[in-house]
Amino acid sequence: MKQVVVLGAGTGGALIANLLAQKLDLREWVITVVDRGHVHVYQPALLFLPFALYGHDDPKDVVRPIGDPLPRNVNFLTADILRIDTEKKTVETSLTTLRYDFLVGALGCRVAPEEIEGLADAIGHDGVHTFYTLEGATAMRPALESMREGRLVIDVCDMPIKCPVAPIEFAFLADYYFTQKGVRDAIDITLVTPYSGAFTKPNANRVLTEMARAKGVNVVADFAAESVDGAARTLRAFDGRTLEFDLLCAIPPNLGPQVLDDSGLGDGTGYALTDPRTLKARSADFVYFLGDNTNVSTSKAGSVAHFEAETVVENLLREIAGKPALPSFDGHANCFIETGHHKAMLLDFNYDIEPLEGSFPMAHVGPFSLLKESHMNHVGKLAFQWVYWNLLLKGRLPNVPLLPSHMNFIGKDLETTPHARHAREMKVRDVMTKEVVSVHKGSALTAAATLMVQKKVSGVPVLDEHDRLAGVLTEADFLSAMNLEQSAVTDTLETVVRKRRARKGMGTIVDDIMTTPPITIREDETLREAVTLMDTNRIKRLVVTDDDRRVRGVVSRGDLLRLYAMK
């Protein structure tokens, strides 16, 4: 029997186990999940436990036995993971040594208060607490309940951390909590962060900083914590600045599993060296990583593990079939931000595009609003706990059309980001490529294919005898005309053009397989219209034509990404 070993039974591990159990032939494959824990914690709820808000009174309500989300047809081993030998393809545990054909690492990360002088000794007393663990979130409640005046400091000690928005959520909930108790005016709430503002992404930082100011939450930026003195109630930065507190909510540094460094898979801080697009280990074959234990440059959050899981499963199945892994993960993340007073915001972003305003997942309809407060967003955040246990972990959410693993522009207001400095005025002509490679009707397919390879383009406009646009010839047209298995066609087209084409017969000239009518746009149309056309038709490029159907240029998804990418 062939073996897939999954390390970790948290969000990523449980989801991978369920997806693989659905897709692998278990008469040929054995799936084994290893984790040393005994409970699975719904971590978003840790934010509410210290305040006992919205029904989060009992810690038992946010945990389940660790085996519950796992499918019954996989093996589960409760053990410590001691070492991974990627040459021998074995995992040494405290109980036994496992052999693997493929390994998936989903070990998460841990809080490391010992990295800040004095913090480990102070947590749990001396007015120092954290909500980043179940025990810490529970222990913090009496301190908040007894607070009537003074200064509450929420300190992000270092990056990266799990759920980067959680600290500012805590500040907003504290504002709501103390307002409800009637003591808000007597309590100073200060968010201390190593960021240059309330959040990392510029557009979200702008919105969240303004909201913090409106709620009377002070933001102390560029503060890298060096030490905590619990007895003196002071927090000190490396640059010498100090802050006094009456109650400190500390978010300790987060580190990855030591076993990854010990096994030559980590970056020195326990995070796995991971290809950001394929999610394969950079230093070993037949190994994938997802979730908080990767070093990819997106948020460490459950939504990311969810979206990463689709790439990992697809690529693992491709490798089993002898095909190369695809660079398909785009860093997609989305998360609700609780803002208090029964409202929340929603962020949706990826490696290249920062959070934008708009509606999600459907344009105009929503029902969720992006980068804006709404009660519906709050309802969505609370409802997600049921979705998490019953759908997400069970592998029932991947490939849901309204929750795609890849970020798209549908519903996004591209004019709200400061980085598109002239977005309100920009037209297609401002970004289109004017030097266009084209062919004429009647041209031989072999000549057209040779031209596309030489010019390194994936598609060309096809012109008639009057040099007017008659169609478009793309790689997908060639592929759909080849005598390939359906799975091969599907796999290739998903990465080439994102749109599945009808099967065609292979002819001899471009007229036989070109796509007609072509989807076009005028150069005086807005970039918003270009984005809408691409997303609606699931294509990567548009031919720009004039009133006489003559080709003026091509605008591609890459042109738009370069415009809207974060600086």
Contact of 335 with 380, CB cutoff 8 Å: no
Percent composition of the chain: helix, strand, coil (DSSP 3-state, to 5)? 30, 25, 40
93 has which bridge partners? 81
Residue 423 has pLDDT above 90, yes or no: no
Residue 371 has pLDDT above 60, yes or no: yes
Token pair in block for residue 303:
């939504």
pLDDT score recorded for residue 562: 61
Q: What number of CA atoms fall less than 13 Å from residue 102's CA on the CB side? A: 22
Token pair in block for residue 117:
């002088």
Least confident of 75-84, 395-404, 498-507: 498-507
pLDDT score recorded for residue 494: 43
Strand, coil or helix: 503: coil
Q: What is the rounded average pLDDT for all residues in the chain?
A: 90
113-117-122-123 Cα dihedral, nearest 10 degrees = -10
* Spatial separation of the C-alpha atoms in residues 177 and 191, rounded to whole Å: 16
The string over 481-517, giving b where at least 16 C-beta atoms fall within 10 Å of a residue's C-beta and e elsewhere, is beeeeeeebebbbeebbbeebeebeeeebbbebbbee
pLDDT score recorded for residue 492: 41
Closest among 436, 435, 438 to 448, alpha carbons compared: 438
Classify burial at 363, counting beta carbons within 10 Å of its beta carbon; exposed 0-12, middle 13-18, buried 19 or more.
Answer: middle
Residue 401 has pLDDT above 80, yes or no: no
In the chain, what's the furthest Cα-to-Cα distance? 86
Contact of 203 with 354, CB cutoff 8 Å: yes
Stretch 86-95: mean pLDDT: 98
Q: Which pLDDT tens digit goes with each residue over 524-560?
A: 888 878 888 887 787 888 999 999 999 999 998 777 6
Nearest-5° Cα angle at 483, 482 to 486: 100
* DSSP designation for 519: P
Which domains, and CATH codes, for the chain? 2-42+50-108+257-320 (3.50.50.60), 113-255 (3.50.50.60), 333-413 (no CATH), 428-564 (3.10.580.10)
Give the distance from CA 510 to its chain's centroid: 40
pTM metric for this prediction: 0.79
> 10 Å Cβ neighbour count for 460?
23
244/410: higher pLDDT: 244
> 10 Å Cβ neighbour count for 276?
16
Strand, coil or helix: 457: coil
* Beta pairing class for 150-156 and 187-192: parallel
pLDDT score recorded for residue 251: 98
Stretch 198-218: mean pLDDT: 90
Residue pointed to by tokens 């790439």? 311
Which phi and psi angles does 206 have, rounded to 5°?
A: -60, -50
Contacts of 475 (CB under 8 A, 6+ apart): 452, 458, 459, 496, 497
pLDDT band at 455 (very low <50, low <70, confident <90, very high): confident
* Beta pairing class for 247-251 and 150-156: parallel
* DSSP designation for 259: H
* Beta pairing class for 333-340 and 343-349: antiparallel
Q: Which pLDDT tens digit goes with each residue over 458-473?
A: 889 999 999 999 999 9
Closest among 25, 28, 5 to 17, alpha carbons compared: 5
Stretch 59-85: mean pLDDT: 97
Q: Which pLDDT tens digit goes with each residue over 223-233?
A: 999 999 999 99
pLDDT score recorded for residue 538: 75
Give the distance from CA 90 to its chain's centroid: 30
Write down the H helix ranges in 76-152: 119-122, 134-146
* Spatial separation of the C-alpha atoms in residues 437 and 298, rounded to whole Å: 36
Contact of 479 with 496, CB cutoff 8 Å: yes
pLDDT score recorded for residue 563: 62
pLDDT score recorded for residue 457: 84
29 has which bridge partners? 2
* Spatial separation of the C-alpha atoms in residues 156 and 164, rounded to whole Å: 9
* Spatial separation of the C-alpha atoms in residues 393 and 174, rounded to whole Å: 30
Token pair in block for residue 286:
């037949």
The CA–CA distances, whole Å, from 107 to 13, 205, 259 equal 8, 30, 10
Token pair in block for residue 227:
């030490």
For residue 360, the one-letter residue type is F
* Spatial separation of the C-alpha atoms in residues 287 and 271, rounded to whole Å: 14
Contacts of 140 (CB under 8 A, 6+ apart): 49, 50, 129, 130, 131, 249
pLDDT score recorded for residue 519: 92
pLDDT score recorded for residue 193: 95
Stretch 268-282: mean pLDDT: 97
Share of the chain above pLDDT 70, in %: 91
